Amino acid sequence: MKLKNIAIGLAAALSVAACAPKSDMDKYIDDLMSRMTLEQKIGQLNLHSASGFISALRVTEEDENVKLLRAGRLGGIYGSGNTEYLREIQKVALESGAGIPLITGMDVIHGFETVFPVPLALSTSWNPDLVEKTARIAAKEATARGINWVFSPMVDICRDARWGRIVEGGGEDPFLGGELAKAYVYGYQGRDDAFDNTDVMTCVKHYALYGGAEAGRDYNSVFLSRQEALNGYLRPYQQAAYAGAGSYMSSFNEFEGIPATMNTYLMDELLRKAWGFEGFIVSDATAILEEVAHGIGDLQEVSARSLQAGLDMDMNSDGFVGTLEKSLREGRIYQADIDRACRRILEAKYKLGLFDDPFKYLDPERAARDVYTPEHLAFAREAARECLVLLKNDGVLPLKKGTRVAVVGPLANDASAMAGTWSMSSHNAESISLFQGISEVTPATYAEGSWLFKDKEIEENILYGMMKVFAPGRQLPPIHTVPQQKLVADAVAKARQADVVIACVGEVPNMNGEGASRTDISVPDAQVELLKALKATGKPVVMVLVTGRPLTLNWENEQMDAILNVWSPGSEGGRAVADVLFGDYSPSAKLTTSFPRAVGQLPLYYNHKNTGRPHPDDEPYRKFTSCYEDELNGPLYPFGFGLSYTTFEYSPVTLSSAEMPMDGSVTASVTVTNSGGRDADEIVQLYIHDIYATSTRPVKELKGFKKVHIAAGASVKVDFTLTKEELSYFNHDCDWVCEPGDFEIMVGPNSWDTEAVILRVL
Ligand code: NOJ
């Protein structure tokens, strides 16, 4: 949207607002704010983590947060799912200052006590309904513990697997990311506008473009043009706003030389004015304070600038609560800046119903009924089955029940690795490990098989990095106590006695997520040593890959008999994996991130530009074209790829008309036949390519997908409707345009294997 249009729209909105009668909410908040002191208003803008975080148990008068509350200087608290604690601290809030209830947040990311697969895994289901249902269950469980605000969905597009937080998002594609973002919002907040006591307010993060961190290094700068940001990255945040998300979290990175937390373009021009977002924006933890290190100014200056750019709440920087009064006195900010932010936070509390009943989310009866129930666990298993990507299968899978298997590797019997990153509330020890799940259906033996890494220091940093920061000096359990050769030898001995080896390798949860960037994204050396020894036994080796990011798997792809990528599959992970390995469910998941051949290819993404010297993905080096001397351009496994136990055949794609008037529509159709022997699901994908445009366009862009169930031998016709919306993009002036001309319309089972027809837009 052009600035001029925004200004006209704003003027019109203001004149309508001036005449419109005040809503009950506005009247309530006007009255409340008229009774609040300046200090209390600023207090509403202050968010703190619960003291002791997840383990916060009791509320005492010595507690820093209680002192702040008593002084009317705290508006929200996050990080505790302890109902008793939350009830007590809510009481303190009501007794203090203006008696305003707290908003209570938490990082509920992929489930709560019942844990679903990590978000990147969930995205590989390509199933927004499933994602919505996981968010609904998470909302139900979290609200039963006293939480009314979740720091999810994380919708950062990422094209670089070195970035550990790729695991928290929906992959590399903005269209799919947008569909999933809506699903999360609907799931958490419910489909209607009202919040009942099972609905939580979402906080869409990290706004914006955090996934574009240069070189995949966490917190690093983002250097994207505004046009590329709009076309390649911003759609999921936009779709979440359209779905009614209640709040956003600003990100740590800078964009266009300005930290996101004080970026007027992102927060005000785009999110509020262009997309119509009316909720509040909270900073990421200490992000205001970090603007000092970004080199913008001291805490007072960055706090003032962040507020004026449109940020409403300060998470853990104490910049607002510590400096805004002074800035107001000095004329650096206006009273209206503070009032605006305070009003937005009070509106969120009003919408949540906290003024009607501050204990609405603190019903002591609910937890026993609504948390970690057998139904939720059963759904966790169902959900996980849809998120397991079969990357290779030379015919060994599915296994017959009764096959004697050796389940080996450092991830084989690690129940706590199933939940993955951000699962602080999970019942970690009760999660179903891969070995447990498999041994429930077939005779199985277990061996740990190897260390994680040969380098002890790297392994220690991974396992204990968090403790080194939060509990320095604490005695850490020793590692590498059993020699690697012995671990490998034990696993080989078990493998020799089995019919098939199931090698469970990859990443423990601390190897991905926040602050977990890697420059080498291969399966770690110690584990490859194990795989080599297993291969040498001559037994078929099925590799079960636990990971939160794409890894480089060239050797594994050549040497393993099958590779099933199970990510971190959640509470019921082991059982879901067994369901697929033993054929109770035919794998249907497809990748939402390209898997590179070499780390040097990164960033790698299917929707890249052609360049003036294009070079096909699968052709060897040729001088003076855009390629590498030592590696192909293409990924090992492309976006959209995943195998099944059956086979699907696609008819050529047809169009209802070869021409489309600008305001018309056209249907693209294919018939997909299940030509194998099993009923199964298939994810049918539609891509477009704008052949000539006034700005350069990607070689392919996903614009539609459908997941269909097809019985063995049956055929299903799949239709996609195309309008100018699917064919539009942000041009060089950042206007959303559909330009007349020819488009390739492509349909297929993944981003590589597509058939094209030409559509002319008039
Ligand atoms: C920092 C992380 O970047 C963000 O995702 C999270 O929600 C906050 N900390 C709060 O824990």
285 lines ligand 1 (CB under 6 A): yes
Q: Identify which of 54, 118, 249 to mutate to test ligand 1's pocket (most ligand atoms within 8 A of the CB).
A: 249
Q: Is the pLDDT of residue 11 over 60?
A: no
Q: Which atom from ligand 1 is nearest to the alpha carbon of 154? A: 5
Crossing angle of the two packed helices 235-242 and 174-189, in degrees rounded to 10? 30
* Residue-range domains of the chain with CATH: 39-366 (3.20.20.300), 388-581 (3.40.50.1700), 646-761 (2.60.40.10)
Give the distance, in angstroms, between the CA of residue 734 and the centroid of all CA atoms in the same chain: 26
- Residue 247 to residues 205, 243, 266: CA-CA distances in angstroms? 9, 12, 14
Range in 24-38, 45-59, 321-335 the model is least confident about: 45-59
- Neighbouring CB atoms inside 10 A of 193's CB total 8
**Stronger pLDDT, 684 or 54, i.e. the higher one:** 684
Q: What is the mean pLDDT of the chain?
A: 96
220-226: list long-range contacts, CB under 8 Å, 24+ apart.
Answer: 220/253, 221/253, 221/254, 222/253, 222/254, 222/255, 224/255, 226/256, 226/265, 226/734
User: How far out from the chain centre does Cα 122 lie?
Assistant: 9
Residue nearest atom 1 of ligand 1, based on CA coordinates: 285
- Helices 484-496 and 525-536: angle between axes, nearest 10 degrees: 30
In order of 165, 187, 374, 594, 606, the CA distances from 600 in angstroms are 19, 38, 45, 14, 16
Q: How far is the CA of 476 from the centre of ligand 1 (A)?
A: 25
Question: Does the beta carbon of 207 sit less than 6 angstroms from any atom of ligand 1?
Answer: no
Token representation of residue 422:
């951000």
> Cα(571) to centroid of ligand 1, in Å?
22
Q: pLDDT value at position 333?
A: 98
What distance lies between CA 680 and its chain's CA centroid? 27
Structure token digits, residue 425: 């509330």
> Ligand 1: does its nearest atom lie under 6 Å from the Cβ of 173?
no
- Express each pLDDT in 352-381 by its tens digit: 999 999 999 999 899 999 999 999 999 999
Give the pLDDT confidence score for residue 501 in this predicted structure. 99
Among residues 123, 258, 210, the alpha carbon closest in space to that of 567 is found at: 123
CA distances from 377 to 128, 449, 511 (A): 19, 30, 26
The tens digit of pLDDT for each residue in 423-475 reads 999 999 999 999 999 999 999 999 999 999 999 999 999 999 888 888 888 88
Ligand 1 in reach of 151 Cβ (< 6 A): yes
- Supply the residue whose CA is at minimum distance from atom 4 of ligand 1: 284
599 within 8 A of 519, measured Cβ to Cβ: yes
Neighbours of 230 (CB within 10 A): 21
Is any ligand 1 atom within 6 A of the Cβ of residue 248? no
Residues facing 564 on adjacent strands: 390, 544
Average pLDDT of span 276-287: 98
Q: Is 256 in the pocket of ligand 1 (CB under 6 A)?
A: no
Q: What pLDDT does residue 2 have?
A: 39
Ligand 1 touching residue 284 (CB < 6 A)? yes
Residues in the chain, overall count = 762
User: pLDDT tens digits for 614-665?
Assistant: 999 999 999 999 999 999 999 999 999 999 999 999 999 999 999 999 999 9
Q: 10 Å Cβ neighbour count for 691?
A: 11
Q: Residue 17: pLDDT band by 50, 70, 90 thresholds?
A: low
Q: Are residues 437 and 577 in contact, defined by beta-carbon separation less than 8 angstroms?
A: yes
From 106, 107, 167, the mutation candidate for ligand 1 (largest count of ligand atoms within 8 A of CB) is: 107
Q: Give one DSSP letter per residue of 54-73, joined into a string.
A: GG-----TTSHHHHHHHTT-
Q: Which pLDDT band, with edges at 50, 70 and 90, does 51 fall under? A: confident
Q: Which helix (H) or strand (E) holds 501?
A: strand 500-506
- Residue 233, pLDDT > 90, answer yes
Residue 586 is predicted with a pLDDT of: 98
Pocket flag, ligand 1, residue 156 (CB < 6 Å):
no
Angle, alpha carbons 91-93-99 (nearest 5°): 110
CA 283 to centroid of ligand 1, rounded, Å: 9
Q: How far is the CA of 341 from the centre of ligand 1 (A)?
A: 21
What separation in Å is there between the alpha carbon of 550 and the centre of ligand 1?
22
Strand spans (E) along 283-340: 314-315
C-beta of 556 in contact with ligand 1 (< 6 A)? no
Distance CA 762, CA 759 (A): 10
| Closest residue by CA, ligand 1 atom 9 | 285
Atom 3 of ligand 1: nearest residue by CA position: 284
Q: Which residues pair with 48 in a beta bridge?
A: 77
Which ligand 1 atom is nearest residue 251's CA? 3
CA–centroid distance, 311 to ligand 1, in Å, is 16
pLDDT value of position 341:
98
Kindly list the strands in the beta sheet with 444-447, ordered across the sheet, starting from the edge strand earlier in the chain: 389-393, 562-565, 541-546, 500-506, 405-408, 444-447
How far apart are alpha carbons 107 and 423 in whole angstroms?
8
Mean pLDDT computed over 203-220: 98
321-352, pLDDT tens digit by residue?
Answer: 999 999 999 999 999 999 999 999 999 999 99
DSSP one-letter string for 632-699:
-SS-SB-TT--B-SS-EEEPPPEES-SEE-TT--EEEEEEEEE-SSS-EEEEEEEEEEESS-SS--BS
| Cβ partners under 8 Å of residue 738, min gap 6 | 662, 724, 725, 727, 728, 761
- How many CB atoms sit inside 10 A of residue 378's CB? 13
Please name the residue that has the structure tokens 């996934």.
Answer: 211
Instruction: Please state the three-class secondary structure of 266-289 as a single string.
Output: HHHHHHHHHCCCCCEEECCCCHHH
Q: Half-sphere exposure (CA, 13 Å, Cβ side) for 706?
A: 16
What letter does residue 3 receive in the DSSP assignment?
H
Give the active site residue among 199, 284, 414, 561: 284
- Section 102-110 average pLDDT: 98
Span 490-507, pLDDT tens digits: 999 999 999 999 999 999
CB of 218 closer than 6 angstroms to any ligand 1 atom: no
Query: Strand pairing of 666-674 and 715-722?
Result: antiparallel
User: Alpha-carbon distance 398 to 114, whole Å?
Assistant: 28
Of the pLDDT bands very low, low, confident and very high (cuts 50, 70, 90), residue 6 is: very low
Q: Note if 679 is an active site residue.
A: no
